[in-house]
Structure 1
Amino acid sequence: MTNLAELVAGSVESRDGTSIGYWKTGQGPAVVVLHGSMESARSHTLLAQALADDFTVYLPDRRGRGLSGPHRHDHCARTEVEDLEAVLREAGATLAFGVSASGAIVLEAARTLPTLRRVAVYEPALVADGTPHAAWLSRFDQEIAQGNVAAAMITSMYGLELAPAIFKVLPRRLLAAITEKAMQKEDRKAGPDDITLRKLGPTVHHEGALIVELAGRVDEFRTVQADVLLLGGSKGLSFLKPGRDALAKVLPRSRVIEFDGLDHGSSSDPSPINSTGSADAVNRIAVEVRSFFGANR
C-alpha cells in the first residue's frame, strides 16, 4: 500500500487565474478526489491511500483552503467546475469522485465537460424538489461578519440538517460557547499552515449558495454521458436521498449502492467534525469505487 508520506504538492491555474493546489500520490490512471464542506484536500487521505496502488490520486484543495487561492465575489457552480477542469486537464484524468457539495460539482462537471468517463459521488448535495435550504444563509453571513465563527457554524449545522439530536435540546448560545472553546484548543495546537475549523468556517457560505443554485435541477442531468456510481449511507442525510433517487431515474447510465450503517461523513477521514469516521468505513467505500473506476479500463 502506498505510503502517504509520498504525497507530492502541485498546482494549476483555473480559468480566472486563481491557483488551485493539490496533493498527488499513487500510480496508474488518474483519479481526482474532491473534498466536501468543512474539509480540505487532506480530508480524504485514507481514501487516497486505499486507491493509490491502482490509481494516481489527485487531492485538490477547493478555493479558500490550504494550497488554493481565495473565493471571488462571483463564485458559483461554474467556477467550481472550472477549478476541477484545470486539475483534470493537468492530471489527464477521466475519473472523478466527489462527496456532498463536491459530489454536486462532479456531477455538474460530468454534465458540462466531455472529458469525464466515470464519476462516483457520495451523497451529492442536490436537492430534488427545489427547496432552497437557504433561510440560514443570511444569519450565517451576519455572524461571520461579526467574527463569531462558532455561532455561524452552529447556524450552518441547523441549516444543512447536520445537527445531532442533542442540539435540539441545548441553547444555541451554549452550543456556540462549546464550539468556540473547541476551536480555541485547536488553534493553540495548530501550526501556521494547518487548516483549522476557524479557517474553514467562512467557506460554508459558498457550500450553501451552491446547494441553492443547483436545487430543483436534477432533470438537467439526463444529458450526462459518463457512467455514474451513486453512493450513500443508510444513516446519511435524509433530505439528500430524494435527489439521489431522482438522479438514479434520470441518469442514462448509473448504479446505486447504499452502505448499511454509514453516514454522510463516511468517505472522509475521522476529524473533530467527523467523529464517526473510520478507516473501515472508508475502505468499504473504496472497494466499490476502485472496482467501478477499474472496470474495463
Structure 2
Amino acid sequence: MEQTIRKRVPVSGGSWVTVDVHGDPGAPGLVVLPGVMSDAHAWRHVASAISAWPSVMVVNRRGRTPSGPLTDAYSLRTEVEDLGTVLDVFPGTTAVFSWSYGGLIALLTADERPLRRLIAYEPVMRPFGRHALPDLKTARENGDWDATVDIVLRKITGLDPTRAEALRADREVWEALRRLSEPLYDETLAVNEPLPDLLARRAGHVDLIVGGANRGTAPYGTTFDDICLRVPAATVHELPGQGHLVHLEAPAQLARLIDELAA
C-alpha cells in the first residue's frame, strides 16, 4: 500500500515524532517501530508490502529527521512513553511490529498497556553493545560520526571488514549511516538499563522472530535468547537465511511473515 500522510505527534520535553501512514489513515492498523541506525524511510518497502492490515503506521523515533531531538532527559522510559502516545493518537490500534531496539521498547510498553498482538524481530537487551559505550561516548563528544558508524559495524555488530569498507565506499549509504548514528550513544545506554524479569505481560499474543543467519550466534542471536527467557509465553519463529537487516535485504519476505502472523 502507498504512503498517504505523515503525521506529527508531540511528545515529552518539547520534542515530537513523525509517523508515516501507509493505507487508510482513518483505519486502525499496525504500528511499526524501528530500532537504532534506522528510520521510517528505511522501512517503507516493508510497510508498502504488508496487506493484512488496512493501515501501517511507521514511527520515525525521536533523534532522527524529521522527528525532534532526544532531549536531555532521554531514557528507555522516554521511548515507552512515546510509543504509548502514538498508540493513543491512532485509537483502536492494538498491534505492533518492532525491530531491534524498537522490539525492547514495544515489549516494555506491553508491560504497561494491553496490546492484542506484538511482533518483534530480533529485539535486543543488556548487555548488548555495552562494551562499546566508552568509544561511542568519545566519538559523540568529538562529533566524529564516521568513528561512530565504524564502532557500530566493527565492535557491536561484528560486520566483516570487507563489507564495512564496501559500505564506506558508497558515499550515499555512508552519509545516511552517519546521520542515523548521532543518537546512538544515548540509545545504547538505554538498551543497557535494568529490566524486569518478565516482559510483555499485558500482550494478548507475542511473536518473536530471529533471522536464520543469526540463530544462536552473537550478538543478535544470543541477545534474542535472553529476550525469550523474559517472554516465556511467546511463539518463536525463524526467518530462514536472513540476518538483522532483513528490512533492507528481504522486505517482501518479512512482510509476508508479518501478514501470516496477523491472524
TM-score, structure 1 as length reference: 0.77
Overall identity of the aligned pairs, in %: 25
* Counterpart AA for 1:234: G
User: In 2 relative to 1, CA 218–257 (structure 1 residues): closer, same or farther, beyond 3 Å?
Assistant: farther
Matches within 5 A, 1:140-289: 140-164=136-160, 166=162, 179=168, 182-183=170-171, 196-214=176-194, 217=195, 219-221=197-199, 223-236=201-214, 238-251=218-231, 253-266=233-246, 268-269=247-248, 277=249, 281-289=250-258
Distance 1:222 1:41 in 2: 24
Counterpart of 1:68 in structure 2 is 67
User: In the alignment, residue 235 of structure 1 is paired with which amino acid?
Assistant: A
Aligned Cα root-mean-square deviation (Å): 2.6
**SS of alignment partner, residue 138 of structure 1:** helix
CA separation of 1:166 and 1:182: change in aligned 2, threshold 3 A:
closer
Q: Give the structure 2 partner of residue 105 of structure 1.
A: 105
What do residues 150-187 of structure 1 show as CA deviations (whole Å, max 9, x unaligned)? 122111223322422547xx9xxxx59x83x6447866
1:246 deviation in Å?
A: 4.4
Whole-Å separation in 1 of the counterparts to 2:148 and 2:108: 28
2:3 pairs with 1:23: no
Instruction: Name the CA shift for 1:79/1:223 in 2 (closer, same or farther; >3 Å).
Output: same
1:274 matched to which residue of 2? none
TM-score for the superposition, normalised by structure 2: 0.86
Q: Distance in 2 between matches of 1:161 and 1:197?
A: 14
Partner of 2:38: 39
Give 5+ residue unaligned stretches, structure 2.
none
1:208-231 per-position Cα deviation (integer Å, ceiling 9, x unaligned): 1122115xx462227343310100
Query: Alpha-carbon deviations, 1:230-271, whole Å to 9, x = none?
Result: 0011112633334433444543532111111101111x13xx
Distance 1:147 1:257, change over 3 A: same
Q: 2:188 and 2:203 mapped to 1: Cα distance?
A: 27
Hey, what's the Cα distance between the residues in 2 that align with 1:243 and 1:197?
Answer: 23
In structure 1, list runs of 5 or more residues that go unmatched. Answer: 188-195, 270-276
Match of 1:12 in 2: 9
Whole-Å separation in 2 of the counterparts to 1:260 and 1:239: 18
- Taking a change above 3 Å as real, the CA distance of residues 132 and 124 of structure 1, as seen in their structure-2 partners, is closer
Give, in angstroms, the shift of residue 107 of structure 1: 0.8
Whichever of the two has the greater Rg, that structure is 1
Tell me, yes or no, if the aligned pair for 2:123 and 2:227 is still in contact at 8 Å. Answer: no
How many residues end up aligned between the 2 structures?
258
Change (3 A) 1:83 1:256: same
Could you list the per-position Cα deviations for residues 179-209 of structure 1 after superposition, in whole angstroms to 9, with x for gaps in the alignment? 3x6447866xxxxxxxx33321212213311
SS of residue paired to 2:152: helix
Superposed displacement of residue 97, structure 1: 0.8
* 8 A Cα contact 1:22 1:67, kept in partner: no
